């Protein structure tokens, strides 16, 4: 979600009820704060996408080095992975905890009981 409100997914679903929606691209940045990113992503990406018909809520990227690489030419130079790998040291970042928190409460095969 680069701009706008997550509820736009419901607008798309209303226009195309026969199609599935997949919210697949959301990242945490190297300049964000843990508490602010955790709260915003949990509210908008995890809960917001599910309440607005998405079949997925995906945080990316999985891992990076301390320079936020590798990435494609012209790609994001500030995208923080869920884990930063620096030699033999692995550091869990906010993206890791966002997905971990949701995974504790949303089991595989879960279904939504009510649409907002």
Query: Which residues does residue 85 pair with via DSSP β-bridges, in sequence order?
Result: 90
pLDDT band at 96 (very low <50, low <70, confident <90, very high): very high
Choose among 76, 52, 51, 56: nearest CA to 64: 76
pLDDT surpasses 70 at 116: no
Could you tell me the two tokens for 39?
A: 């709260």
The predicted model gives 59-71 an average pLDDT of 88
Count the neighbouring beta carbons within 10 Å of the beta carbon of residue 41: 25
pLDDT digits (tens, 9 = 90+) for 31-47: 999 999 999 999 999 88
């Amino acid at each position: 979600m680069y701009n706008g409100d997550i509820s736009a997914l419901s607008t798309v679903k209303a226009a195309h009820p026969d199609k599935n929606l997949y919210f697949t691209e959301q990242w945490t940045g190297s300049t964000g704060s843990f508490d602010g990113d955790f709260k915003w992503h949990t509210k908008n990406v995890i809960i917001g996408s599910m309440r607005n018909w998405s079949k997925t809520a995906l945080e990316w990227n999985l891992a990076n080095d301390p320079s936020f690489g590798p990435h494609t030419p012209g790609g994001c130079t500030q995208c923080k992975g869920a884990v930063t790998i620096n030699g033999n040291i692995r550091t869990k970042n906010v993206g890791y905890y966002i997905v971990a928190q949701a995974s504790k409460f949303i089991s595989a095969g879960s279904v939504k009981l009510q649409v907002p």
